[in-house]
Amino acid sequence: MTTLLAFAFVLGVLVFVHELGHFMMARWHGVRVLTFSLGFGPKLLSMRRGDTEYCVAAIPLGGYVKMAGENPEDPRSGSDDEFLSKSKWQRFQILIMGPVMNLLLAVVLLWVVLLQGAQVAAFQDEPVVIGVVQPGSPAEQAGLRPGDRVMSVAGSETATWDQFSLAIGTRPDRDTELVVMREGLDVRMTVRPNATTRYEVGDIGVLPDVYPSIGTVNPGDPADRAGLKAGDVLVSVAGERMVFAQHVSAAISKSAGQPIEIRVRRDGEEQAFTVTPELRGESGIIGVSLANATRTFQPGPVEALGLSVERNIEFAGLILQTVWGLVVGETSPRQLMGPVGIAQISGESAQLGWVALFALMATISLNLGLLNLLPIPVLDGGHILIIGLEAVARRDFSMQVKEKLFLGGFALLMVLMVTVIYNDLTRIAWIEQFMPWRN
């Protein structure tokens, strides 16, 4: 139920804002709006105010604003309040305002999220210095080493781990050039990120050059008896380099009853301790709380707004890069997500709280705004393209030409819809069992 409610809320808000953009600009230019609908198909709720019918329809996968004289085949009186009676510049403004509203909503939502502040991993804004190369990973196969600093990914500068994660995450199963600084020299190498998680996020198997630390030590427990103290930085456990707290927990958990060496850094010096984890339940424990290196992120309103704009521009570039990759065959269609996938991730985000849900909404709103601007007939961008071409040609295209363009655009959207729904279904384990070609 949470998933359904979260999906209805997310999609409802994004569609409403999009159609509101068209509606407001149409009214601004004096165009008579006949229908403002959330959803398609049979009408569930309906009310009329003035010339406009406001309704909620049964299929919640979009919405529309129907304007008087919007299409050449519509009955037209030639009056000034019809869409096609307006200038091309006015029609352009009406068409583009829907995507613009989604882009503005993305900025506002992310601004609200950033204003809340958070405890974030300290390494995210630091240079991409590799601390660990996981055995058997694409990074190891490509020749990356601990201490290497990644300067760029696929020609784009990666000044921070945050930028690096985004760049690699969007390139699963694609040969990707890295520029790495090693001993003061630039080294070029090619790596092919693995597709991980059900959303096929790219990963090359490198971890940052950070260490977890001990928060508290329980009196009388193995760690206390061995001499470990709060504030100790954990370097290794049983000879294994530690990066995050979960790595420490996993290493200790499997070593119940066995003496292990734990190396820590204390007061700038490295020391070794022998600790024997005790079996409690099904896991070994030594009686400490663990912490990753974090920093408090609490921007003011102006800084948060600037960061929101900056992040949305950065994400927009990645989205457009992905779209171009689909066009030229560099990006796998498996990365695309449809309504079922959006519903799943909406439910998961809602369970984490409203901040996570708003962050997701910002991302989807940005995608919706940009994708609607693509020059595909049927989409807003397609209509804008036709208006632009007509302006250049200084004549309106015939109805036959427009019908062919829209038919081609509709066919492309249907192929896209089938693809994303198929992707969504393959991410559901019990459904994938009925797809023997994927086993």
- Mean residue pLDDT of the chain comes to 86
pLDDT tops 60 at residue 332: yes
Answer yes or no: do 162 and 283 share one domain.
no
Asked if residue 21 belongs to a domain, the reply is no
d(CA 278, CA 288): 12
pLDDT tops 70 at residue 17: yes
Answer yes or no: do 332 and 260 share one domain.
no
pLDDT band at 433 (very low <50, low <70, confident <90, very high): low
Residue in 19, 70, 82, 200 annotated catalytic = 19
Answer yes or no: do 175 and 193 share one domain.
yes
Answer yes or no: do 353 and 439 share one domain.
yes
Q: Which domain holds residue 185?
A: 119-207+293-297
Answer yes or no: do 99 and 226 share one domain.
no
Domain boundary residue, one of 297, 316, 331: 297
Asked if residue 220 belongs to a domain, the reply is yes
Where is pLDDT greater, at 283 or 54?
54
Answer yes or no: do 303 and 439 share one domain.
yes
15 to each of 101, 269, 325, 379, how far by Cα in Å?
10, 58, 27, 14
CATH number of residue 136's parent domain: 2.30.42.10
Place of tokens 């204390």: 266
Q: For residue range 339-373, list pLDDT tens digits in order.
A: 767 777 787 777 888 888 899 899 999 999 998 99
Asked if residue 22 belongs to a domain, the reply is no
Q: Which residues pair with 265 in a beta bridge?
A: 233, 270
Q: For residue range 172-209, list pLDDT tens digits in order.
A: 888 999 999 999 899 999 999 998 877 778 899 999 99
pLDDT tops 70 at residue 428: no
Q: Where are the beta strands (DSSP E) in 224-309?
A: 233-237, 240-241, 260-266, 269-275, 278-280, 283-285, 288-291, 294-297
Q: How many CB atoms lie within 10 A of CB 417?
A: 13
Asked if residue 23 belongs to a domain, the reply is no
Answer yes or no: do 280 and 391 share one domain.
no
pTM of the model: 0.78
Asked if residue 58 belongs to a domain, the reply is yes
Residue 16: helix, strand or coil by DSSP? helix
Q: What are phi and psi of 338, to 5 degrees?
A: -110, -165
Kindly tell me the number of DSSP H helices and DSSP E strands found in the chain: 12, 20
Domain boundary residue, one of 297, 317, 334: 297
Answer yes or no: do 379 and 410 share one domain.
yes
Domain boundary residue, one of 297, 325, 353: 297
Answer yes or no: do 194 and 95 share one domain.
no
d(CA 369, CA 330): 23
Answer yes or no: do 306 and 419 share one domain.
yes
The total number of structural domains in the chain stands at 4
Asked if residue 308 belongs to a domain, the reply is yes
Answer yes or no: do 154 and 98 share one domain.
no
Tokens of 367: 């995608």
Tokens of 192: 């092919």
332 to each of 16, 382, 429, how far by Cα in Å?
31, 24, 20
Place of tokens 């055995």: 135
Answer yes or no: do 128 and 113 share one domain.
no
DSSP assignment, residue 232?
A: P
Q: How confident is the model at residue 148, as a pLDDT?
A: 94
Q: Is 19 among the residues known to form the active site?
A: yes
d(CA 172, CA 331): 8
Q: How confident is the model at residue 298, as a pLDDT?
A: 86
Asked if residue 25 belongs to a domain, the reply is no
DSSP assignment, residue 406?
A: H
Asked if residue 319 belongs to a domain, the reply is yes
Of 307, 255, 298, 294, the residue nearest 278 (C-alpha): 255
